[in-house]
Amino acid sequence: MRLMPSRMACCETYGERGIMKTSYQIGVIPGDGTGPEVVAEGIKALTALSRTSGFDFQFETFDIGGNRYLREGGLLADDEIRRLKAMDAVFLGAIGHPDVRPGILEREVLLRLRFELDLYINLRPVALFEGVDTPLKGKGPGDIDFVVIRENSEGLYAGGGGFFKKGTPDEIALQESVNTRKGVERCIRYAFEYCRNRGEKKRLTLCAKTNVLIYESDLWRRVFYEVHEEYPDIAVNYQHVDALCMWMIKNPEQFDVIVTGNLFGDIITDIGAIIQGGLGIAAGGNINPEGTAMFEPIGGSAPKYEGLGQINPLAAICAAQMMLSYLGEKEAANRLLAAVKQVVNGKIASLDAGKMGYSTSEVGDLVVGCLA
Ligand code: IPM
Ligand code: MN
């Protein structure tokens, strides 16, 4: 394994660790709903690329998700966590099943993976490609091109809290937001580093709510400006989360990199997904810059479309693209990105499920056909 000189040697694309091997061990979790269909297309693209590159992939499939839970009761075994940790990267389809009560799979599989693998960065690029429709009137590809860095291991997702006098008129429900100095600082440092390496704008926006969350947002704000002293080349600004939601719609061109906590990041990246053309294209990475990383289409399991061959695989293919970039395979990552850009620019009718003019696997074939 060849590690890049700097621990966080990232660049234009996606926060890579720069492993650079001749053979990569990839843990694959197809998961639920349309997960397996889109993962198959991601693997198709990766395999096609590897045929003309100096590396290959060893895929190891993990049967994790709602289907197994309903069949056998198991959620995520300690042994699976150990094996996933040892992978160069993990490729995830979707976790979520209509027959499983909300919260179980999310907490016990998805969030547990994030916590146990300490995937403390959730990296979500928001880029509108040429030829893709955005609901934002008058905005084009040059206007929508930024990255959200979401803290992925703390905040309200830490799961602390409880009920008191549950089910009575005096019931109290507490939900605690955990923000550690260490957790906030490592995320903010990553964001500065990422921003420095991303491109020309070099502008980092902190998104929080200092006017109301006077403890947690205060910590975020203090750490942000402290760390900024080490990055004088980066222009910084601060926006309250509610205002930032407005600006993402009105003036998205102002953004380069946004850094924020876990729940705000969850919410604003759904706005990001829709302005970049929807869940058919939006991908993300759950990254431990010192460990492994897990890449996923952010659209979820879409049970309504399961088995129909109508779901758009491009989000999963973009997740695979981010994974290549993370692994340090920049040339292959760029080739895949160029192929996706060709496919969305006039080849498919729409990014929406059922309206692409092609089936899921035909869209995968189109991408492979466009690989230069
Ligand atoms: C996401 C999802 C998850 C989250 C859910 C499924 C737990 O919405 O990855 O954005 O809230 O983080
Ligand atoms: Mn979400």
Tokens of 268: 């604003």
- Nearest atom within ligand 1 for CA of residue 266: 10
pTM of the model as a whole:
0.94
What is the rounded CA–CA span in Å between residue 135 and residue 139? 9
Q: What is the pLDDT confidence band of residue 143, given thresholds at 50, 70 and 90?
A: very high
- Which residue blocks in 229-261 are alpha helix, DSSP H? 241-250
Strands 172-175, 257-260: pairing is unpaired
Q: How far, CA to CA in Å, does 98 sit from each of 65, 105, 141, 298? A: 12, 11, 36, 17
**In angstroms, how far is the first alpha carbon of the chain from the final one?**
27
Whether 266 is in the pocket of ligand 1, judged by its Cβ within 6 Å, is yes
Q: What b/e sequence results for 151-173 when a residue is b if at least 16 CB atoms lie within 10 Å of its CB, and e otherwise? A: bbbbbbbbeeeeeeeeeeeeeee
Q: How far is the CA of 78 from the centre of ligand 2 (A)?
A: 25
What is the rounded CA–CA span in Å between residue 245 and residue 207? 10
Are residues 263 and 239 in contact, defined by beta-carbon separation less than 8 angstroms?
no
pLDDT digit string, tens, across residues 87-116: 999 999 999 999 999 999 999 999 999 999
Whether 95 is in the pocket of ligand 1, judged by its Cβ within 6 Å, is no
Q: How far is the CA of 233 from the centre of ligand 1 (A)?
A: 33
Beta-strand runs (E) in 65-144:
89-94, 121-127
- Which residue blocks in the chain are alpha helix, DSSP H? 35-51, 66-72, 78-85, 104-105, 112-116, 181-198, 216-228, 241-250, 262-275, 314-327, 330-342, 360-370
Q: What are phi and psi of 89, to 5 degrees?
A: -165, 165
pLDDT digit string, tens, across residues 223-243: 999 999 999 999 999 999 999
Nearest ligand to the CA of 159 is 1
Whether 296 is in the pocket of ligand 1, judged by its Cβ within 6 Å, is no
CA 286 from chain centre, in angstroms, equals 6
pLDDT for res 223: 98
